Amino acid sequence: MLLTNARIATLDDNDSYGLIEDGAIAIMGARIEWVGARTELPAPYQALEARDLEGRLVTPALIDCHTHVVFGGNRATEFELRLNGASYEEVAKAGGGIVSTVAATRAASEDALLSDALTRVDAMIAEGVTMIEVKSGYGLDVNSESKMLRVARAIARARPIDVRTSFLGAHATPPECRGNRDAYIDDVCIPALQAAHAEGLVDAVDGFCEGIAFDASQMARVFDVAAELGLPVKLHAEQLSNIGGAQLAAQHRALSADHLEYANESDAEAMAASGTVAVLLPGAFYTLRETQAPPVQAFRDHHVPMALATDCNPGSSPMASPLLALNMGSTLFRMTPLEALLGMTAHAAKALGAEDRGRIVPGMRADLCVWDITHPAELAYRVGFNPLHTRIFAGRQ
């Protein structure tokens, strides 16, 4: 395939959009073969069947590198109770909170979880997403964690999209463990990880390092098992407080540390040294009405690559719109539109260890979006507006 008459934002370095006017992209199979100005197209590619994009903008396709799209039920009733003045205790008594999602997820069949997840995945695809990360973490027992990850794998068979799975057994302590976090980690979470890995269901290992979830020493035990299994790690860190999660992630050369509202300069330094991506999640910041934004300037100063994701989940970020995440990254976190776009393309790919995509350069995967706009800053600028014209996944429309 040959795309012509395109305005191309190659994102081939991190300092500019790498814009090419009147550009062409030659695609062979699933890979980009050549990209440049149409007038410089080498002779062998001139014979390819051309598609005239009529001056539209082409970018790398979007990657949502932090989602919890597989879960049972939803928490709209809890949302409504709260807005009617119910206290946290009343919400808990009415069966609300993360525990209610665990109960609904355990009760649901794989088919039901899949069709529910696909409603959210389809919304992402409609906005140009070609790769998502999907976490477990609402099963919290050996069978239910594997069930969630089987559903995550099934998404990639049901739709033209790539899925990377993360085992998030260390997300919360289930009711049957009665708050005994250490016992949960050792007797349930680690065996669940080993079982899911044995079934080929795990691409990375994640955890929620927070006062209300697990501390750094508990997470370290899970990460040691990940290392034994040869799996990369990532971590929900410093979302509501700083308890050393980013430092732990850096020590374990994590692919990413995510949220990071309470991270500081020395966390940024440690992440830069370990090559850990900072994944910023403005949907959760917005939904929880947080006031402390992540230290974007420190990440810039220390050259920590920043990614952006929806964190799509039923509690803290019921959002399935990557374009809204781009807008919120700029509006709420003051990321530039270029940083936001890199955050859902090249840097999101790096956060997933999938560095064969996210930029438009020869050899990379031909995962592309054609947009009905003229400048890439328009992607982060508008709210509730989807200019996607065509999505190309692995070289196919």
Binding of Fe ion by 210 (CB under 5 A): no
Alpha carbons 254 and 246: distance in angstroms, whole number: 9
Query: Is the CB of 87 or the CB of 397 nearer to ligand DI6?
Result: 87
- Compute the residue count for the chain: 397
- Selected range binding ligand DI6 among 216-224, 270-278, 310-318, 350-358, rule: CB under 6 A: 310-318
Binding of ligand DI6 by 315 (CB under 6 A): yes
For the segment 84-143, give every residue that binds ligand DI6 (CB under 6 A).
Answer: 98, 101
Of these, 34, 167, 184, 208, which contacts ligand DI6 (CB under 6 A)?
Answer: 208
Binding of ligand DI6 by 144 (CB under 6 A): no
Alpha carbons 243 and 38: distance in angstroms, whole number: 53
Query: Is the CB of 184 or the CB of 208 nearer to ligand DI6?
Result: 208
Q: How far is the CB of 167 from Fe ion (least distance, A)?
A: 13
Alpha carbons 24 and 71: distance in angstroms, whole number: 41
Query: Is the CB of 130 or the CB of 317 nearer to ligand DI6?
Result: 317
Alpha carbons 309 and 320: distance in angstroms, whole number: 10
Query: Is the CB of 98 or the CB of 152 nearer to ligand DI6?
Result: 98
Q: How far is the CB of 284 from ligand DI6 (least distance, A)?
A: 5
The answer to whether 272 and 304 have CB atoms below 8 angstroms apart is yes
Query: Is the CB of 68 or the CB of 147 nearer to ligand DI6?
Result: 68
Which does residue 316 bind out of Fe ion, ligand DI6, none, counting CB within 5 to 8 angstroms by kind? ligand DI6
Q: How far is the CB of 134 from ligand DI6 (least distance, A)?
A: 14
Which does residue 101 bind out of Fe ion, ligand DI6, none, counting CB within 5 to 8 angstroms by kind? ligand DI6
Which does residue 252 bind out of ligand DI6, Fe ion, none, counting CB within 5 to 8 angstroms by kind? none
Over the window 166 to 185, marking each residue x when it contacts ligand DI6 by CB under 6 A and - when it does not, the resulting string is: -----x--------------
Over the window 33 to 72, marking each residue x when it contacts ligand DI6 by CB under 6 A and - when it does not, the resulting string is: ----------------------------------------
Alpha carbons 85 and 257: distance in angstroms, whole number: 34
Q: How far is the CB of 315 from ligand DI6 (least distance, A)?
A: 2
* Helix axes 98-107 and 142-158, enclosed angle (nearest 10): 70
Of these, 105, 136, 310, 316, which contacts ligand DI6 (CB under 6 A)?
Answer: 316
Of these, 141, 261, 311, 367, which contacts Fe ion (CB under 5 A)?
Answer: 311
The answer to whether 281 and 314 have CB atoms below 8 angstroms apart is no
What are the residues binding ligand DI6 (CB under 6 A)?
Answer: 98, 101, 171, 208, 236, 239, 284, 313-316
